Amino acid sequence: MAQEMLREANTMASKSNDVEISRAVVEIKSAIDRIKEQAANVE
C-alpha cells in the first residue's frame, strides 16, 4: 500500500509544474516513509 502511495506521489510530482505541489509531494513522501518504518516495526 505504501509503495503504491509513493508511486502516486511521484506521478503527481512529475505531472505538475507547480512549486507548491512539488513541496507538498516531498512532505507526502516523507510521511509515507514514516508509515513504512512504523509498519516494519510492527512486523
For residue range 12-43, list pLDDT tens digits in order.
999 998 999 999 999 999 999 999 999 999 96
Give pLDDT, residue 26.
95
Read off the pTM.
Answer: 0.81
Domain count along the chain = 1
- Domain holding 30, by residue range, is 2-42
Please report the DSSP string for 13-26 in residue order: HHH---HHHHHHHH
Give pLDDT, residue 11.
94
Q: Is residue 5 very low, low, confident or very high in pLDDT (cuts 50, 70, 90)?
A: very high
Of 32, 30, 31, 10, which is closest to residue 21 (Cα–Cα)? 10
Taking each helix axis from N to C end, the angle separating 19-42 and 2-15, rounded to the nearest 10 degrees, works out to: 170
3: alpha, beta or left? (left if phi > 0; alpha if psi -120 to 50): alpha
